[in-house]
Amino acid sequence: MRIHLGTDHAGFELKNEVARHLSEAGHEVIDHGAHVYDPQDDYPAFCIAAAEAVVADPGSLGIVIGGSGNGEQIAANKVKGARCALAWSEETARLGREHNNANLMGIGGRMHSLEDALKIIDAFVATPFSEDARHERRIQQLADYEAK
Ligand SMILES: O=C[C@H](O)[C@H](O)[C@H](O)COP(=O)(O)O
């Protein structure tokens, strides 16, 4: 699977670990920055770039990383067609895929150990959308609102 990453300084270290971990697992990882550590950088451009890439690349997934994941998720969700779930446990990661067909997840690099963060990310990447009618219906309602 192709996986697009975006992060600010607060997720920089985790992003590099995630890129290594996912590449070793056989995924194609595309890094939309930050490419250098700058403690003063801002998350929106990196997360919007990752979300735009995911929307333009159907079937791919995205992971946006920051200190909390909050701002990163907000930024990604500004992109039309992006459905970015804030994943803070393996269960919320799985539900983001099963119920919301999330094509991106946000995660806080300051919120988890590396081991736990990688488990959360693995749960997200491994879980398919359920395709249940009630979830399809709700996602369509969001898409209809977005199209207005
Ligand atoms: O929601 C925003 C993210 O958590 C940012 O990564 C965070 O606000 C960055 O904080 P600071 O600039 O204090 O390192």
SS3 at position 61: strand
Task: Report, as an integer, the average pLDDT of 40-44.
Answer: 98
Structure tokens at 129: 């959308």
pTM of the model: 0.98
Cα–Cα distance, 69 to 75 (Å, whole number):
10
Residues with Cβ within 6 A of ligand 1? 8, 10, 43, 66-68, 70-71
ipTM (interface pTM): 0.98
Mean pLDDT, the chain, rounded, equals 98
- Give, using CA atoms, the residue closest to atom 14 of ligand 1: 10
How far, in Å, is the centroid of ligand 1 from the Cα of 81?
A: 25
Cα–Cα distance, 117 to 123 (Å, whole number):
10
Fold of 2-147: Ribose 5-phosphate Isomerase B; Chain: A, (3.40.1400)
How far, in Å, is the centroid of ligand 1 from the Cα of 100?
A: 26
How far, in Å, is the centroid of ligand 1 from the Cα of 20?
A: 23
- Residue 74's φ and ψ, nearest 5 degrees, are -60, -45
pLDDT at 5: 98
Cα–Cα distance, 61 to 123 (Å, whole number):
13
Sequential DSSP letters for 97-122: HHTT--SEEEEETTSS-HHHHHHHHH
For 54-94, how does the pLDDT look when each residue is reduced to its tens digit (9 = 90+)?
A: 999 999 999 999 999 999 999 999 999 999 999 999 999 99
Neighbours of 57 (CB within 10 A): 15
Residues serving a catalytic function are 72, 99
